[in-house]
């Protein structure tokens, strides 16, 4: 059986179910306990599990990740919340030089079952330090896994997979997806890493939509369909590991690719995906690989300027039309 629940409720359920299943799982972060999380995602967990397993922390991302890492190395399975993705930069050494490398520097003896829930994306006039999507920062770091769900179903299933794993996972949750509703089973399930999903089948162009942009990408695909353009929409679900096979098979069919994400365009996740396609699928492409992403400027506070720099439905549709009309 399934029912419709929100993205945030799906994450809450995943945390609660994993904490009930395994006593080594616990949640730490700023305001995750009594307050229930600044976005309400951890509501009710403190009441059920108590302050030993739902721990409020000081305003110190370095302490949150460092404490979580230490606990993971000692056999616990911490879920560490970073309230705003921008401030994971404060814990960069812990993430990049410690968590990512502990297994390798221990000769494979140390598991690092640390799940870092990182809240990313532009929520509307939160300005330059509370709006970023920094997932590409970490794609360059061996030893880290990166999940970026776009639906409640995937949010729950991928988070459970992250918590049960043996590696550090950066789990990106877009703020504007928290209220999105979707079908989620009542029965237990997980979603494997490294398996993309085709959200919409098509034959004319492949659109790869990452995380929070997926709803707009699907709207753009419907808009294009009304004009006779049949777009295939693919959701990678995880950036590391990345499902190259599904993407390449789609490109073999459509011969055109548009990559859409909310991270800044320069060196964003789309750049790596484009490079993969250039290496693996160049012979199937009839046009350049196009990226639709946030413009390369810090996020402005002004809402009109913010909307100007973000990728929109019209931006995606225009990119696809231009690609369809491209002549070698």
- Token digits for 49? 């599990």
Contact at 8 Å (CB) between 260 and 226?
A: no
264 catalytic per annotation: no
Contact at 8 Å (CB) between 128 and 182?
A: no
The 3 state secondary structure assigned to the chain is: CEEEEEHHHHHHHHHHHHHHHCCCEEEEECCCCCCCCCCCCCCCHHHHHCCCCEEECCCCHHHHHHHHHHHHHCCCEEEEEECCHHHHHHHHHHHHHHHCCHHHHCCCCCCCCCEEEEEECCCCCCCCCCCCCCHHHHHCCCCCEEECCCCHHHHHHHHHHHHHCCCCEEEEEEHHHCCCEEEEECCCCCCCCCCCEEEECCCCEEEEECHHHHHHHHHHHHHHHHCCCCEEEEECCEEECCCHHHHHHHHHHHCCEEEEEEEECCCCHHHHHHHHHHHHCHHHCCCCCEEEEECCCCCCCCHHHHHHHCCCHHHHHHHHHHHHCCCC
Exactly one of 130, 174, 261, 264 is catalytic; which is it?
A: 130
Query: Among all residues, which ones are annotated catalytic?
Result: 130
């Amino acid at each position: 059986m399934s029912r419709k629940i929100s993205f945030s409720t799906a994450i809450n359920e995943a945390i609660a179910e994993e904490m009930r299943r395994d006593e080594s799982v616990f949640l730490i972060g700023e305001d995750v306990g009594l307050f229930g999380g600044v976005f309400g995602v951890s509501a009710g967990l403190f009441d059920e599990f108590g302050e030993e397993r739902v721990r409020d922390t000081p305003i110190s991302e370095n302490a949150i990740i460092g404490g979580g890492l230490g606990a993971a190395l000692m056999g616990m399975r911490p879920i560490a919340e970073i309230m705003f993705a921008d401030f994971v930069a404060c814990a960069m050494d812990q993430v990049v030089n410690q968590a990512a490398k502990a297994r390798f520097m221990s000769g494979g003896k140390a598991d690092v079952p640390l799940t870092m829930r990182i809240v990313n994306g532009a929520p509307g006039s939160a300005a330059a330090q509370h709006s970023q999507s920094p997932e590409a920062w970490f794609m360059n770091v061996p030893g880290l896994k990166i999940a970026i769900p776009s639906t409640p179903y995937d949010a729950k299933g991928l988070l459970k997979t992250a918590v049960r794993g043996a590696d550090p996972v950066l789990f990106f949750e877009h703020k504007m997806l928290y209220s999105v509703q979707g079908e989620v089973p009542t029965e237990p399930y997980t979603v494997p890493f490294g398996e993309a999903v085709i959200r919409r089948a098509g034959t004319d162009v492949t659109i790869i939509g990452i995380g929070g942009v997926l709803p707009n990408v699907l709207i753009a695909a419907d808009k294009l369909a009304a004009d006779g353009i049949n777009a295939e929409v693919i959701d990678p679900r995880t950036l590391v590991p990345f499902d190259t096979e599904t993407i390449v098979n789609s490109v073999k069919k459509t011969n055109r690719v548009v990559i859409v994400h909310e991270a800044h365009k320069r060196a964003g996740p789309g750049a790596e995906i484009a490079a993969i396609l250039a290496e693996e699928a160049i012979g199937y492409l009839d046009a350049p690989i196009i990226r639709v992403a946030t413009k390369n400027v810090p996020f402005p506070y002004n809402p009109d300027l913010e909307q100007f720099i973000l990728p929109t439905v019209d931006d995606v549709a225009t990119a696809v039309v231009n690609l369809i009309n491209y002549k070698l």
